[in-house]
């Protein structure tokens, strides 16, 4: 057992973190008589893939190249986060494919000068991620080899969009194929760096939000792109990465993801992996409703940020873990792994989100 002690009502100011307690073992006849727990071994639920957060550009930069942490402090922090024996054993990472709102600036992996395009993706490069995101993700995998990595894009490159900008706009129909190839190149590049990516989503929170890197979709566009472009290209490339539908809130599933998931051909595709859920709107029971409709479709909790709007963060986190897993989720994922003392840097979007850790920078 491990104990973390805080001295504030919000459960944010840690006085003593991850203190190992005296080991104990459950033995017959040693408990009180108040409660009985009966385990029904014949009823099976989902397996648990993991819990974790995201190496946003903000988190990775703060922890690595910002200079805020010494190498020794960074490594000790990584052990506390990812080691199953020396820390809390985080086992699930959902990393942005390019910039999100918790990034220092906007970028993708194929940015070209305004007015130009690159349909052959000849300028594709993950060089940005090689500075911080890739080395820290690789270190996390070394600390916890059972770690699962997924990736979600906030936007396609600006030249693929009708707006010509990273913030807002729609993917142009003529670039659906190039965008699916963009996913393939990303997955291959990460694989070549020793980081296998097990899951992707087509889009983080479609239609939200124009104030930071983002891209709009409707249900039919997502369904077509997933079925006719993304899934076939992953399979043709020999990639085992699976696509998760939705990646948004419970209350908008019917409006954005149902058309994709309702397609039996999508559900049967070897590269389809299930549904990704966020917890910012609606009721967690939606996960069970969809599970009852499609029992063979896995559910993953892929984003639920902490923040200043939450009165007691520790209590909220525990309730979220219970809620997600009682409603069939195989993962529980918070948002940025780290922010600084000003809850940044951020590129528009959330200026009140908290991380798993706070890195004091400057």
* Model confidence pLDDT, tens digit, residues 77-94: 999 999 999 999 999 999
pLDDT band at 27 (very low <50, low <70, confident <90, very high): confident
Residue 237 has pLDDT above 90, yes or no: yes
Output the pLDDT for position 308: 94
Bond before 239 cis per omega within 30 degrees? no
Output the pLDDT for position 129: 99
Phi–psi pair at 46, nearest 5 degrees:
-75, 155
Do 82 and 90 form a contact (C-beta atoms < 8 A)?
A: yes
| Catalytic hit among 41, 86, 174, 205 | 205
What pairing do the DSSP bridges indicate for beta strands 50-54 and 2-6? unpaired
205 flagged as catalytic: yes
Task: Using alpha carbons only, give the angle 358, 196, 123 rounded to the nearest 5 degrees.
Answer: 90
Do 276 and 201 form a contact (C-beta atoms < 8 A)?
A: yes
Average pLDDT over every residue of 173-202? 99
Burial class (CB in 10 A: 0-12, 13-18, 19+), 334: buried
Question: Which residues, in sequence order, are CB contacts of 40 under 8 Å at separation 6+?
Answer: none
Which has more pLDDT, 140 or 21?
140
Which has more pLDDT, 25 or 51?
51
CA-to-CA distance for 82 and 143, rounded, in angstroms?
6
Between helices 133-143 and 71-82, what is the axis angle to 10°? 50
Do 66 and 361 form a contact (C-beta atoms < 8 A)?
A: yes
Q: Give which of 180, 157, 153 is closest to 94, Cα–Cα.
A: 153
Q: Domain ranges for the chain, please list them.
A: 46-359
Question: What fold is seen in the domain 46-359?
Answer: TIM Barrel (3.20.20)
Output the pLDDT for position 6: 78
Task: Please state the pTM of the whole predicted model.
Answer: 0.92
| Catalytic hit among 41, 86, 174, 303 | 303
Residue 207 has pLDDT above 90, yes or no: no
Average pLDDT over every residue of 176-185? 99
Q: What Å distances lie between residue 151 and 34, 133, 296, CA to CA?
A: 46, 12, 22
Question: Which residues, in sequence order, are CB contacts of 295 under 8 Å at separation 6+?
Answer: none
Residue 11 has pLDDT above 70, yes or no: no
Output the pLDDT for position 293: 99
């Amino acid at each position: 057992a491990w104990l973390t002690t805080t001295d504030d009502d919000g459960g944010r100011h840690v006085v003593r973190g991850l203190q190992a307690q005296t080991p104990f073992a459950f033995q017959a006849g040693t408990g009180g008589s108040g409660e009985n727990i009966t385990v029904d071994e014949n009823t099976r639920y989902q397996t648990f893939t993991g819990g974790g957060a995201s190496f946003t550009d903000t988190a990775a930069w703060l922890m690595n190249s910002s200079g805020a942490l010494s190498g020794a402090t960074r490594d000790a922090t990584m052990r506390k986060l990812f080691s199953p024996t020396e820390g809390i054993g985080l086992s699930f990472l959902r990393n942005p494919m390019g910039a999100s709102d918790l990034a220092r600036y906007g970028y993708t992996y194929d940015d070209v000068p305004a007015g130009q395009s690159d349909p052959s993706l000849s300028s594709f490069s993950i060089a940005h991620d090689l500075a911080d995101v890739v080395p820290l993700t690789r270190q996390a995998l070394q600390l916890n080899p059972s770690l699962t990595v997924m990736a979600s894009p906030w936007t396609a490159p600006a030249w693929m969009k009708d707006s010509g900008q990273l913030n807002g706009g729609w993917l142009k129909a003529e670039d659906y194929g190039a965008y699916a190839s963009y996913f393939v190149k990303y997955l291959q590049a990460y694989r070549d760096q020793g980081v296998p990516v097990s899951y992707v989503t087509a889009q983080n929170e479609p239609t939200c939000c124009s104030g930071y890197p983002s891209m709009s979709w409707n249900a039919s566009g997502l369904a077509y792109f997933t079925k006719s472009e993304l899934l076939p290209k992953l399979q043709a490339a020999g990639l085992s990465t699976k696509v998760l539908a939705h990646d948004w809130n419970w209350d908008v599933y019917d409006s954005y993801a149902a058309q994709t998931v309702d397609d039996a051909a999508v559900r049967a595709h070897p590269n389809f992996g299930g549904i990704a859920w966020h917890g910012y709107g609606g009721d967690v029971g939606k996960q069970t409703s969809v599970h009852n409709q499609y029992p063979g479709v896995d559910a993953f909790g892929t984003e639920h940020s902490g923040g200043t709007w939450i009165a007691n963060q520790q209590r909220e986190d525990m309730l979220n873990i219970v809620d997600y897993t009682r409603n069939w989720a195989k993962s529980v994922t918070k948002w940025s792994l780290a922010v600084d003392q000003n809850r940044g840097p951020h590129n528009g979007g959330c200026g009140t989100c908290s991380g798993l850790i706070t890195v004091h920078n400057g």
